[in-house]
Structure 1
Amino acid sequence: MVIRTFDKAPSTGPLMLKAVLPAIPVIGGLPGVRHAKGSVPDIVLERTGVRTDHAHLETYNEVCGFPRSDVLPATYPHMAAFGLHMSLMTDTAFPFAPMGLVHLRNTITQHRPIGVDETFDVSVRAADLRPFPKGSLVDIVTTVSIAGELVWEEITTLFSRHTGGGAETSPAPLAGVEAPDGVVHWKLGGDLGRRYGAVSGDRNPIHLYPLTAKAFGFPSNIAHGMWTLARSLSAIQNRLPAAFTVDAEFRKPILLPGTVVFGSRVVEDDLVFGVKGAKKPVTHLVGRVVPQA
């Protein structure tokens, strides 16, 4: 195992450029650019002593709809980990070129709230490369600890489309779960991807402008999946327990600008939520919050 330690968040600008290179014909096949195949790298990326920038948190809350609080939103530690995610995915030992990946699912477990002034450590690794219809799935596993105590963890599941593939070896966390109907409409501006990209560091071209998104096969730029999840959790913030697991599945991209509808309902002890199109009943996101003891 190789452990790489960072004393600050990696700059995502150069990493985004590095992520694009493998998608360029000829250049993508060159040594030092071409990604290896066959397994996940035995690499762990770490940041220690991470402190929250209050101004950055304020901007994040504004973009995602969270109220001010003395604890972090459940999705916010993803911000501290994103640069490590990019460093891992752009490493040529990672089995897939980053620009071809689709963020399919996300699972976050908050074991306890993290105070805005607490210092924490972040660790990131890849795991569980497995078959999926028309391609493969791979997980990026993130953990956050405070003084050795695991307080937050995340599984980011990515889909790589390629020939071959096969049936998934285990059931999807939200198999059979459908997004509830809702009445709350969110009108999303065409600049949403740029606004969230500025605060998250995720400036993937598919989120920024119609022209850059069309270059990757989308009719317009699309909202970030992690924004949609964050905005959904902000809508039910006052109903979230202190400790919980939230599973989310991103089923269809949200084209910008546009209007979507948010809904939620209680199913036994769980809280199921979802985001659908306002004009067409297509499901963009479905999620479920399960309380933890």
Structure 2
Amino acid sequence: MSGEIRLDFEQLPTVAPSYFRAVANFGSGLSQGETIPDIVARLNDLEVRAENLARYRKVCGFPRADTLPVTYPHVLAFPMHMAVLTHKRFPLKLLGLIHVRNEITQRRAIRVDEPLDLIVSVGGHREVSKGIEFDLVTRVNDASGATIWEETGVMLSRGKSGGSSKRKEMPELGFSAQEEASWQVPADIGRRYAAAAGDYNPIHLSAWSAKLFGFPRAIATGMWMKARAAAALEPHIDVDAYSLSVAFKKPVFLPSTVLFKEGAVDNGLDFALTSRSGDIHHLTGEVRYL
């Protein structure tokens, strides 16, 4: 691709330097007629470390198995996400980006012992009412070169006029919840997830670090909520090929008690994470069989 910026790794990059760059980079934003350049990072023959996988399974609720949790490749690629989003040519400030939607497509189950090729890319943007959206795309290829897993994370960079006041209405699920479970989300879940996934965003770690970014308390990591939902749904999914999509709605402040709701629909499942009263939707999502 013409003008593509390539980052080729022989091993996963260290995350700490990316955090230092994120803190130091205030982001110049996009000028008129400018867009996010094409930045592509690649790593071949990555092997899963058993101890890291075990830690992730425990914090997210996945049982032991000989295949990876559907959300785990996101964690494998996270250091590459950070390298891309803190590259000197990436024009937006990483701290302050909001993960608004995430879709994973798994074309087959991934064995824990198979080497994987990872490709992470960004490029281009869309102007939306709240600012600028762009896609952070991750692909996992097997030894034959076939793409067996793909993720699109939709990220939002708020504009100056991004806030708008809307009349509050009781949100509707849009599906009939057939099962419901109460989750206790502890105050330390952000730190526990960070230790397993390497995601040390300060808004998830403690009340004092979250307050530096305008939050009254720490909030649960969005990808922990998605992984925890995936673990709860796993016993009801009897296929290997499916998509798992979520929209991140309202933050879960720590600690909290929330309700997980799910219901079967044609060719899949719908689910949501809500407040106990149901008047706040933290996450909504769907599973669709391929």
Q: TM-score with structure 2 length normalisation?
A: 0.90
Q: Aligned residue for 1:230? A: 227
Separation (CA, whole Å) in 2 of partners of 1:54 and 1:179: 38
Contact map agreement 2:35 2:124 (CA 8 A) in 1: no
Question: What displacement does 1:149 show?
Answer: 1.2
SS at match of 1:183: strand
Separation (CA, whole Å) in 1 of partners of 2:134 and 2:220: 22
Distance 1:257 1:60, change over 3 A: same
Q: Aligned residue for 1:52? A: 48
Question: What displacement does 1:280 show?
Answer: 5.3
- Alpha-carbon displacement from aligned partner over 1:77-113 (angstroms, at most 9, x marks no partner): 0111101110111113223100010000000000000
How many residue pairs end up in the alignment?
273
Distance 1:179 1:226, change over 3 A: farther
Correspondent of 2:6 among 3, 8, 12: 3
Contact map agreement 1:34 1:92 (CA 8 A) in 2: no
Q: TM-score with structure 1 length normalisation?
A: 0.89
Q: Aligned residue for 1:98? A: 94
Separation (CA, whole Å) in 2 of partners of 1:217 and 1:188: 21
Q: Aligned residue for 2:251? A: 253
Contact map agreement 2:67 2:109 (CA 8 A) in 1: yes
SS at match of 1:186: strand
Q: Aligned residue for 2:139? A: 143
Letter in 1 for 2:6: I
Separation (CA, whole Å) in 2 of partners of 1:229 and 1:79: 12
Distance 1:91 1:178, change over 3 A: farther
SS at match of 1:288: strand
Distance 1:135 1:177, change over 3 A: farther
Deviates more, 1:99-108 or 1:41-50: 41-50
Letter in 1 for 2:21: K
SS at match of 1:234: helix
Distance 1:131 1:179, change over 3 A: farther
Separation (CA, whole Å) in 2 of partners of 1:14 and 1:251: 30
Question: What displacement does 1:34 show?
Answer: 4.7
Letter in 1 for 2:203: I
Q: Aligned residue for 2:158? A: 161
Q: Cα RMSD (Å) of the superposition?
A: 1.7
Correspondent of 1:13 among 16, 24, 28: 16
Distance 1:229 1:180, change over 3 A: farther
Contact map agreement 1:179 1:275 (CA 8 A) in 2: no
Question: What displacement does 1:17 show?
Answer: 2.0
Separation (CA, whole Å) in 1 of partners of 2:29 and 2:80: 17
Contact map agreement 1:183 1:261 (CA 8 A) in 2: yes
- Alpha-carbon displacement from aligned partner over 1:207-253 (angstroms, at most 9, x marks no partner): 00000101101110001100000000100112222100111100011
Distance 1:133 1:34, change over 3 A: closer
SS at match of 1:206: helix
Matching of residue 216 in structure 1 with residue 219 in structure 2:
no
Q: Aligned residue for 1:107? A: 103
SS at match of 2:129: strand
Separation (CA, whole Å) in 1 of partners of 2:188 and 2:176: 27
Q: Aligned residue for 1:271? A: 269
Separation (CA, whole Å) in 1 of partners of 2:245 and 2:35: 25
Separation (CA, whole Å) in 1 of partners of 2:217 and 2:175: 24
Matching of residue 205 in structure 1 with residue 208 in structure 2:
no
Correspondent of 1:131 among 104, 127, 131: 127
Q: Percent identity?
A: 38
Letter in 1 for 2:70: A
Structure 2 stretches lacking a partner, 5+ long: 163-171
Separation (CA, whole Å) in 1 of partners of 2:244 and 2:128: 22
Contact map agreement 1:223 1:253 (CA 8 A) in 2: yes
Letter in 2 for 1:195: R
